[in-house]
Amino acid sequence: MSSEFDPRRLNVQAFAQAGATLSAVDLLSKYERLLSETGAPGADREVRWAARGEQQTDASGHARVWLHLTAGVSLPLTCQRCLGPADIDVEVTRDFRFVATEAQAEAEDEEAEEDVLVLSHDFDLRALVEDELLMALPLVPRHEACPTEVKLVVQDADFEAAQEAKPKPFAALAGLKTGQKS
Ligand SMILES: [Zn+2]
């Protein structure tokens, strides 16, 4: 059923009309913009996503075209508190409604809760998955709980001096957040 739909060139309206679903587990290496966030490692990580089309009829009898998307990836990033490697899980769930024209999309996107996009016969679903995951990335990636006691590592004077000579903006930020002095 779903095999007739190609995620790289998706006929959104037909997908919604059919109430079809598509899902995949792709290698991160297929998502260049997302991969560039890791600074190289992680090409073999998995990007999982699933999409479902839905067509509704509104009160005035017009068809409303929906696409429901979930996506997730675990990215190997650098924790900005302890500067160690951190796997950051990014998950998104989004609803998109598709309309006929760019002008309509712009006008309706302002007030709608859902994202409003323009209908296309060759919509790039993977690009949408990548856009959404990129937007969901944390600005400052951090462990929920760092594996090492960061603040207690600073013990000898030379190291401390070196730290002061090279201020780390993210470490300073982390300090501010927790109210601790670095
Ligand atoms: Zn950490």
94, 117 Cβ separation under 8 angstroms? no
Q: How far is the CA of 141 from the centre of ligand 1 (A)?
A: 9
Q: Quick one: pLDDT at residue 161?
A: 56
Q: How far is the CA of 143 from the centre of ligand 1 (A)?
A: 4
Query: What would the DSSP string read from start to end of the chain?
Result: -GGG--TTSB-HHHHHHTT-EEEEEEEGGG-HHHHHTTTS--TT-EEEEEEEEEEEE-TTS-EEEEEEEEEEEEEEEE-TTT-SEEEEEEEEEEEEEEES-HHHHHHHHHH-SSEEEE--SSB-HHHHHHHHHHHHS-SS---SS-SS-GGGS--SHHHHHHHHHS--HHHHHHHHHHT---
Q: Quick one: pLDDT at residue 163?
A: 55
Q: Quick one: pLDDT at residue 3?
A: 57
Q: How far is the CA of 82 from the centre of ligand 1 (A)?
A: 4
HSE-up of 166 (CA within 13 Å, CB side)?
Answer: 5
Beta bridge pairs of residue 160: none
Handedness of CA 33, 38, 39, 40 (dihedral sign): negative
Q: How far is the CA of 100 from the centre of ligand 1 (A)?
A: 46
Q: Quick one: pLDDT at residue 62?
A: 85
In 3D space, the residue among 127, 133, 168 whose CA is nearest the CA of residue 150 turns out to be 168
Query: Which residues sit with Cβ closer than 5 angstroms to ligand 1, an ion?
Result: 79, 81-82, 143, 146
Q: How far is the CA of 182 from the centre of ligand 1 (A)?
A: 15
Q: How far is the CA of 83 from the centre of ligand 1 (A)?
A: 6
Beta bridge pairs of residue 52: 21, 68
Q: Which residues contact 81 (CB under 8 A, 6 or more apart)?
A: 142, 143, 146, 150, 170, 171, 174
Tell me how far apart the terminal alpha carbons of the chain are, to the nearest angstrom.
58
Q: How far is the CA of 48 from the centre of ligand 1 (A)?
A: 25
**What is the full per-residue pLDDT of the chain (182 aa) written as tens digits?**
445 899 999 999 999 999 999 999 999 999 999 999 887 788 899 999 999 999 999 888 888 999 999 999 999 999 999 999 999 999 999 999 999 999 999 999 999 999 999 999 999 999 999 999 999 999 999 999 998 765 555 555 555 555 555 555 555 555 555 554 44
Q: How far is the CA of 113 from the centre of ligand 1 (A)?
A: 35
Q: How far is the CA of 28 from the centre of ligand 1 (A)?
A: 23
In 3D space, the residue among 86, 85, 114, 87 whose CA is nearest the CA of residue 99 turns out to be 114
Q: Quick one: pLDDT at residue 149?
A: 65
Q: How far is the CA of 44 from the centre of ligand 1 (A)?
A: 23
